[in-house]
Amino acid sequence: MAQQARTAHLTRKTSESSIELSIDLDGSGRADIDTSVPFFNHMLTAFAKHSLVDLTVRATGDTDIDVHHTVEDIAIVLGKAIGQALGDKSGISRFGDAMVPLDEALVQAVVDISGRPFLVHSGEPAGFEFHLIGGHFTGSMVRHAFEAITFHAGMTVHVTVMGGRDPHHIAEAEFKAFARAFRQAVAKDARVSGIPSTKGAL
């Protein structure tokens, strides 16, 4: 029997943003990203590359006001798309963890495809949330993006910044660590029969 495609294609349009997003969990890391927010393009491209998902995003928004609405709405759609693509989660590994360095920065991420949205996010240095990465992406948006993805995908995610100085390095290490942990968690495991939970559902 052919394996069911683990893909999703979603759109979302509000007065603040317009988003079209496609994802294939069994891809090769191909990214085609244009969010109108350059640093977020970079982060989503890194996420696709290191999680081995294929990801296409086309988005525009009121970035003349702030990148907040556009980044948040893309993260909402990405989370929903992940949840849809996972289907009933049969045969997945479920858990994943990774520790990723980027020069002086070091980040650990742990993912549980649990069906229970919960984010624990800690360790970013004082002032990180106020820094404009690339001159336009507020550091606080890193956590906010993870909050939206986690909630709308129904995942438990722990992201811990173990160390770091440069805001770009810290943010990028966070997305790469999350990507590597996510890749493990959503991977199919031939030894798993059905839903990997004693409850029989995730």
User: How many CB atoms neighbour CB 186 within 10 A?
Assistant: 24
First to last CA, the chain: 23
pLDDT at 4: 85
CA torsion 6-190-100-124 (nearest 10°) is: 60
Residue 102 lies inside a defined structural domain of this protein: yes
Q: Report the CATH number that the domain containing residue 64 is assigned in CATH.
A: 3.30.230.40
Segment 158-187 mean pLDDT: 98
Mind listing the pLDDT tens digit for each residue in 150-167? 999 999 999 999 999 999
User: How many CB atoms neighbour CB 61 within 10 A?
Assistant: 24
Number of structural domains the chain divides into = 1
pLDDT at 201: 85
pTM exceeds 0.95? yes
Residue 2 lies inside a defined structural domain of this protein: no
Residue 49 lies inside a defined structural domain of this protein: yes
User: What is the Cα–Cα distance from 87 to 19, expressed in whole angstroms?
Assistant: 22
Q: State the DSSP H helix or E strand holding residue 50, giving kind and residue range, or none if neither.
A: helix 38-51
Residues with Cβ within 8 Å of residue 155, at least 6 apart in sequence: 82, 111, 112, 113, 114, 117, 149, 185
Q: Which domain range does residue 108 map to?
A: 7-186
Residue 1 lies inside a defined structural domain of this protein: no
Residue 201 lies inside a defined structural domain of this protein: no
Residue 198 lies inside a defined structural domain of this protein: no
Confidence at 115, pLDDT banded by 50, 70, 90: very high
Residue 84: both structure tokens together? 């849809």
Confidence at 202, pLDDT banded by 50, 70, 90: confident
